[in-house]
Amino acid sequence: MPNSSAERNEYDVAVIGAGPAGLAAAAAAADTGVSVALVDSGPRPGGQYWRHRTGDDGTHHHDWAEFTRLRARIREVDHLAEHAVWHIEPGFTVHATGRDPVRARRLVLAPGAHDRQLPFPGWTLPGVYTAGGVQALLKGHGVLAGKRIVVAGTGPFLLAVAAGLLDAGAGVAGVFEAGTPAGFARHPLAVAGALGKLGEGAGYLRVVGRRYRTRTMVIAAHGTGELSGVTVAKVDANWQVVPGTERDVACDALAVGYGFTPQLELPLQLGCATRLDADGSLVATADDRQMSTVEGVFLAGEVCGVGGSALAVTEGLIAGRHAAGVSAGSRLLRRRRAQRRFAGALHQAFPLRRGWLDRVGADTVVCRCEEVRHRAVTAAVDDLGATDPRTVKLLARPGMGLCQGRVCGFATACVVADRLGRTLIEADLRGLAARPVAQPVTLGELAG
């Protein structure tokens, strides 16, 4: 059967994305006997989380056994690697770079997320990376981003990145967590630790040890031409700098991350409803079966709420089964409930606080592709009468460049909402997230 599906480019189920959620969905759907295509831009399955090199034995990876189990289960799946999906038409026709369109009766969208970035003075200097970018360099290429690396931002992912770097022999000059995760440990749901997740965090913490500082932020990056150091400072509960606590830390690489932004292009192309999640991210709405508000379009992983790889796998298993027309068992549903509670507790433990906005100076670049500075964003509001982020984008160009707002969209929306004296709303993010072309595609390929 798979061969004839491949010849016709027609499948019962097409899964987009081969990270934890997509792999699980493809495996669960294939187990039921339907034909499955797994379309992914990467050369190997695993996505960002299990990004690896050929011959990688999984030494430096987490849940590697889970990955190898899932990989073994997708033998009957047509893995269409190195094809980036740029558009999906209703019905469904999946357009990906470098190949003929794939038709499928049902879809599972598992596109994942990218690092959420917040601008601060110096953040565009060479040597400043996203936390995920530093980890991808290490996992995908075995490359250390620097000799003396600072890890900063908020969330448990910082610990994972720092532990990975230490494990690989890197010099880690400090790990600076803006929040107060002590509150996390006190959270009853977290203490339950049903998934061993807390144990993992504690394990990281042991490795990272005395380098870990909470309520501490990198408030500026310095260097001429490239990064030579950062200024860190203690912050209060609202991320305001405590005066007099500023100090400089020498480093040649900074890995910074403030959580994740789910990739919403494909659900928005298909008309799926969205909502604002507890962490401030725009996410697609999924029902108990992991189905979006569009019939036949299922969602798994960060796209329907940032929750980490374990939840992504569970959602993928549920989505894959339902996409294949088979119900998921109650055991999976129970596991998902527990994992979502855990994810919710994490969002509560590592919230973004508005203090970061006060450190974005008039001269700070907000959109690096188009070099739009903070003053141009606020002028669009103050002088030109913009009342939402989309209008600011059209007037001042943040998010108009190569990344199409993937990097700066969230921050731009926050800056605009704050300037207008209100909190961030779903429409703010939606106005910047709609991209009819999800990946750059050449006009020649488009023309066919």
* Binding positions for another protein, rule: CB under 8 A: 87, 89, 95, 269, 370, 380, 383-388, 390-391, 394-395, 397, 400-402, 404, 435-437, 440-444, 446-448
Minimum CB distance to another protein, residue 440 (Å): 4
Cα separations (Å) of 318 from 32, 47, 112, 429?
A: 12, 19, 16, 28
Long-range contacts, 242-246 (Cβ 8 Å, 24+): 246/219
User: Cβ distance 30 to 23 under 8 Å?
Assistant: no
**Which residues share a beta bridge with 254?**
128, 150
Cβ 441 to another protein shortest distance, Å: 5
Amino acid at residue number 418:
D
Report residue 16 as tokens. Answer: 């987009």
The distance of closest approach from Cβ of residue 396 to another protein in the complex, given in angstroms and rounded to an integer, is 9
Torsion over CA: 312, 314, 317, 319 (sign): negative
Q: How far is the CB of 420 from another protein (least distance, A)?
A: 11
CB-based contact 175:208 (threshold 8 Å): yes
Q: How far is the CB of 409 from another protein (least distance, A)?
A: 13
Tell me the pairing of strands 216-222 and 229-234: antiparallel
Q: Diameter of the chain by CA atoms? A: 69
CB of 212 to another protein, least distance (A): 40
Q: Of 192 and 446, which has the nearer Cβ to another protein?
A: 446
Which residue number, 78 or 428, has a Cβ lying nearer to another protein?
428
Q: How far apart are CA 126 and CA 143, in angstroms?
A: 16
Which residue number, 250 or 437, has a Cβ lying nearer to another protein? 437
C-beta of 85 vs 318, nearer to another protein = 85
Nearest approach, Cβ of residue 438 and another protein (Å): 10
Cis peptide preceding 92, ω within 30 of 0: yes
Closest CA to 393 of 374, 377, 407: 377
Nearer to another protein, 235 or 380 (CB): 380
Q: Which is nearer to another protein, 89 or 226 (CB)?
A: 89
Q: Between 65 and 446, name the residue whose CB sits nearer to another protein.
A: 446
